[in-house]
Amino acid sequence: MDFINAIIVLLNYTIIPALTYGSQLALGAIFVTLIYGILRFANFATGDMMSFGTMFAVLLTYYFQSLGMNLGIFPTALITIPLATFMMILYMLCIDKFVFEYYRIKKSPPVQLAMVSVGVMFVTQAIIRIIIGPADRTFLDGKKFILKASEFKEMTGLNEGLTIKSTQAITIVITMIAVSIMFWFLNKTKTGTSMRAYSDNEDLALLSGIDPKKVVLITWIIAGILATIGGILYGLDKSYRPFVYFNNMLPIFAAAIVGGIGNPFGAFLGGYVIAFAEIFLTYAYKKFFTYILPDALEPNSMMQILSTDYKFAVSFSILVIVLLFRPSGIFKGKTL
Amino acid sequence: MRQYTNVITAYSIMFALIILVGIFQSWSIALTILNYCLISAVMTIGANIQWGYAGLINFGIMGYTALGGLAVVLVSVAPVGEAWRVGGINMMICLGVIVGMVFSIRFTLKKITKSKNRNYLITAIIIIGILLLRLISAPAIENIEAVEPAKTGFLGGLGLPVLFSWIAGAFLAGGLAFVVGKIALGLRADYLAIATLLIAEIVVSIIKHEDWLARGVKNVIGLKRPAPYEINLQQSQWFIDLVEKFHSGKLALINSVSEKQEVLNQLVIDASSVYVKLCFTGLFLTVVIILLIVTQKALYSPWGRMMRAIRDNEEAAGAMGKNVVKQHLLIFILGSAIVGIAGAMMVTNDGLFTPGSYRPMRYTFVIWVMVIVGGTGNNFGAILGGFVVWFLWVEAAPIALFFINLFTAHLPETNEIRVHLINSAPYFRFLVIGIALLVIMRFRPQGILPEKIIKN
């Protein structure tokens, strides 16, 4: 019984939150990796682009709520995804047309493009703050919990409760669907194959008649969909605040590099690696050990490896270690 | 002389702008902007050495700035005796443990051949070291933080004059740069950017959360100043006489004695703040000029030529027998040390250390925009970039407000769009900076004052 209680504690406080957070990071990391693999630069505007898509979801949610529309037990934000994604793709294509395309045609070095993306980051942040302001906003409605701790205790008769928030379930399910569709697209369709070819060897791909404009267009569209979904899921789960989205760029980069930048599957797993590391290393295991160890050995400290203040530092340290020992990432990079 | 015409023109326009601020807003604001421009200039000199001379991309400027600020606290604040008594010894032992760890790792790396066992040994050393550190420091930290938590709760500093901290800041930042450089300099450009960005984030989060070191997010206020305090100035006779002499024409127009005294008092208060800021300006200007001369000499020395050769073609320079790795590390350290000085200068200017305010936006990306807008590889350009961008950063909001009012003048006062725009005026600074960067990158990629290579 104690053993099951211990497992429930771990599930409740580490595994489910880590899966949720990992899914959100994974979507962002695939976004980074796609841009890196096909357009060949590190996009420093990642966090703010996600924020831009989410901003529309927030505004549309408020609008739909004012019209009295809702999805019952599901959050209203889900119906805003198509529209928000559309706005986001439109914005990205504009940015690409007016900013990135010039450097791509000139074949500028990646560093220059990265620098340009810093400019895009500033502009995007400004637009977001001018439109919606820097305040913290929640836009979650509908049913909050799928399973409450008290219900779970009643159901199973255990000491520990298991809580599953609806946002956690929604995040994991939507991520799985979105990512599977994306992998199917990349691996099975002709356009996806041409994208992979373009990423692998640009000159050869061009020789075999692949239209670079089309590849770039499709990349931005897929990236826009992923970024918006990732941003909305994060905002639903926590809350929407532009500054936090900017900061999220850092663990997202860490996830993308840990997974091998340029490799979407690596980025997907990298998101979970970072999330699990962050949560496992900063969780206080006292309760867990109280259940699992005999009474005599009961721990009297918090059994916490690092204080939660260093949550971000954990992911960055992992990144530094990976860069030191395996610069191409855990799952070899550059194989879209 | 002719080759300097555009430099002189650019700087004259910049100073004219600052003087305009002095006339239209106030001299105090103009001097604040000037001081920050000078601090930014020091940062851009540092970043320009790395990016312009050697092509190294360092997105970790925030971390070095924060370390420079930390140096001010560690050098100038008086030591907290009580805290040292309850936890000083343990913290010193911890320092010893860290040094021991570093040396044992170095020893292992040198003496044992590369193998799996060596990796395990190093991991074991690190884990044991961290466990030891936790065991020794945990009670000490608790004790130290319990010493008057509202006022101190940290170890304090050395109690030395604050100007020493500028040098200490350079050494701290240079030390960090040595470690980071050893780890990360082998990486490709964009990886290096991300790695340095994240390492800076780690540094700041350590400063933020280790309260025993510098009070963390509780901030350290009331730091020493290398300049006189306003309140002392307002009471010293020589200063009042000086102000009276300066404004004698204006004062002579006032007849009643009491009114005259009142006006004089107000003038003295205004003048004292201007005087203090002028003192800082003098100090900062000295630093900027010294750094400018040194970097300019270095740029046109054989060493500078070698750096440019390494930047433009690493393989060729390596083939000519130049030690690329060593030179990269050296320049990374030098540039970061200069940024450290700037960090210390900034905290000295503010008189307070607020770790919570170190954010990559303000301390990394804005500095980068300065270097790129001003002119990479040209010191005059980098300094000018510091001035221009800082000026835009500060003055963007008032200018935006002016234009919003102009364009929405036909709308009623309570119009929603107008109110919303006026409230979001401060965010136009991001827009202005971003557009400035994009425009410069597109139409003048070398910056306002491009790199000039003097051939003899």
pLDDT string in tens for chain B (456-residue length): 566 788 889 899 999 999 998 888 888 889 999 999 999 999 999 999 999 888 899 999 999 999 999 999 999 988 888 888 888 888 889 899 999 998 998 888 888 888 888 888 888 998 899 888 888 888 888 888 888 877 777 888 888 898 999 999 999 999 999 999 988 888 878 888 888 998 899 999 999 988 888 888 888 888 888 888 888 888 888 888 888 888 887 777 877 888 888 888 888 888 888 899 999 999 999 999 999 999 999 988 999 989 989 988 889 999 999 999 999 999 999 999 999 999 999 999 998 899 989 998 889 999 999 999 988 888 999 999 999 999 999 988 888 888 888 888 887 877 888 888 888 888 999 999 999 999 999 998 888 888 877 665
The pLDDT of A19-45, averaged and rounded, is: 92
Question: What is the structure's pLDDT at B64?
Answer: 96
A290 belongs to a structural domain: yes
Testing the interface with B: which of A51, A120, A122 to mutate, by most B Cβ within 10 A?
A: A122
Question: What is the structure's pLDDT at B335?
Answer: 95
Rounded distance, CA A199 to CA A202, Å? 6
Rounded distance, CA B162 to CA B216, Å? 20
A114 contacts on B by Cβ (under 8 Å): 190, 193
Q: With an 8 Å Cβ cutoff, are A116 and B195 in contact?
A: no
The distance of B77 to chain A (nearest Cα, Å) reads: 26
A312 contacts on B by Cβ (under 8 Å): 201-202, 205
Question: What is the structure's pLDDT at B456?
Answer: 53
* Cβ atoms within 10 Å of A24's Cβ, excluding its own: 28
In the numeric block, which tokens belong to residue B415?
């119009």
A91 belongs to a structural domain: yes
Identity at A207, one-letter amino acid code: L
- When mean pLDDT is compared across A149-163, A185-199, B85-99, B415-429, the lowest value belongs to A149-163
CA-based nearest residue in chain B for residue A129: B427
Alpha-carbon separation of residue B124 from B111, B127, B129 (angstroms):
17, 5, 8
φ, ψ of residue B85 to 5 degrees: the values are: -65, -45
Testing the interface with A: which of B430, B435, B439, B444 to mutate, by most A Cβ within 10 A?
A: B430
**Sign of dihedral through CA atoms B403, B439, B40, B382?**
negative
Q: With an 8 Å Cβ cutoff, are B209 and A310 in contact?
A: yes
Q: State whether residue B437 sits within 8 Å of chain A by CB.
A: yes
- State the Cα torsion B338-B340-B346-B348 to the nearest 10°: -110
φ, ψ of residue B282 to 5 degrees: the values are: -60, -50
B434 contacts on A by Cβ (under 8 Å): 119-126
Q: With an 8 Å Cβ cutoff, are A257 and B194 in contact?
A: yes
A79 belongs to a structural domain: yes
Q: What is B2-79+156-443's CATH topology?
A: ABC transporter involved in vitamin B12 uptake, BtuC (1.10.3470)
Q: With an 8 Å Cβ cutoff, are A246 and B57 in contact?
A: no
Q: With an 8 Å Cβ cutoff, are B205 and A109 in contact?
A: no
* Cβ atoms within 10 Å of A332's Cβ, excluding its own: 13
B197 contacts on A by Cβ (under 8 Å): 250, 253
Question: What is the structure's pLDDT at B454?
Answer: 66
A122 contacts on B by Cβ (under 8 Å): 365, 369, 430-431, 433-434, 437
CATH number, domain with residue A275:
1.10.3470
Question: What is the structure's pLDDT at B425?
Answer: 87
**Could you tell me which residues come within 8 angstroms of residue B210 by beta carbon, excluding any fewer than 6 positions away?**
B216
Rounded distance, CA B196 to CA B177, Å? 10
Question: What is the structure's pLDDT at B2?
Answer: 62
Q: With an 8 Å Cβ cutoff, are A126 and B427 in contact?
A: yes
Rounded distance, CA B65 to CA B198, Å? 15
Question: What is the structure's pLDDT at A51?
Answer: 94
Q: With an 8 Å Cβ cutoff, are A122 and B184 in contact?
A: no
The pLDDT of A25-31, averaged and rounded, is: 94
pTM score: 0.90
**HSE toward the beta carbon, residue A94, CA cutoff 13 A:** 10
Q: With an 8 Å Cβ cutoff, are B430 and A312 in contact?
A: no
**Domain of residue A51, residue span:** 2-325
A280 belongs to a structural domain: yes
B184 contacts on A by Cβ (under 8 Å): 320, 323
**HSE toward the beta carbon, residue B180, CA cutoff 13 A:** 33
What is this model's ipTM? 0.89
Rounded distance, CA B311 to CA B303, Å? 12
Pairing mode of beta strands A145-147, A164-165: antiparallel
A333 belongs to a structural domain: no
Q: State whether residue B57 sits within 8 Å of chain A by CB.
A: yes
* Total number of domains in chain A: 1
CA-based nearest residue in chain B for residue A41: B190
What number of residues does chain A have?
336
Rounded distance, CA B413 to CA B374, Å? 40
- What would the 3-class secondary structure string for B340-402 be? HHHHHHHHHHHCCECHHHCCHHHHHHHHHHHHHHHCCCCHHHHHHHHHHHHHHHHHHHHHHHH
| Three-class SS state of A274 | helix
- When mean pLDDT is compared across A88-92, A243-247, B168-172, the lowest value belongs to A243-247
A331 belongs to a structural domain: no
